Amino acid sequence: AQSVTQLGSHVSVSEGALVLLRCNYSSSVPPYLFWYVQYPNQGLQLLLKYTTGATLVKGINGFEAEFKKSETSFHLTKPSAHMSDAAEYFCAVITYNNNDMRFGAGTRLTVKP
């Protein structure tokens, strides 16, 4: 079955600095990859997803992620962090023939003023 590993349970950046949240996946068939964001006491909101086609995916709030098959990675980036980006971020993987979306353990992003 597919799986996801998120490196770093906590990431802290200064406002205006680059955000990089790491995600590596394992899948025996081509994966579909997702990044979700969870604000306190709320459900998960989709940031972006990769299914097929262009490997650089742009999402909401200025986030983007690049699917790198050779590195089995789908890292999330944002050029300049904003205070409102502080939240928990989850990477997830699912395959076309599977109902079981596997989530990473999450990375909590803190943005310092």
Which positions lie near another protein, rule CB under 8 A?
32, 34, 36, 41-46, 49, 51-52, 90, 92, 94-106
Give the residue with the Cβ less far from another protein, 3 or 14. 3
- Smallest gap from residue 96 Cβ to another protein (A): 4
Q: What is the DSSP string of 52-80?
A: SS-SEEE-GGG-EEEEEGGGTEEEEEESS
Tell me how far apart the alpha carbons of residues 82 and 105 are, in angstroms, rounded to a whole number.
Answer: 23
Give the residue with the Cβ less far from another protein, 99 or 113. 99
Tell me which DSSP letter residue 48 carries. E
Give the residue with the Cβ less far from another protein, 40 or 113. 40
- Smallest gap from residue 18 Cβ to another protein (A): 24
- Smallest gap from residue 20 Cβ to another protein (A): 19
Q: What are phi and psi of 40, to 5 degrees?
A: -50, 130
User: What is the separation of C-alpha 110 from the centre of its chain, rounded to a whole number of angstroms?
Assistant: 15
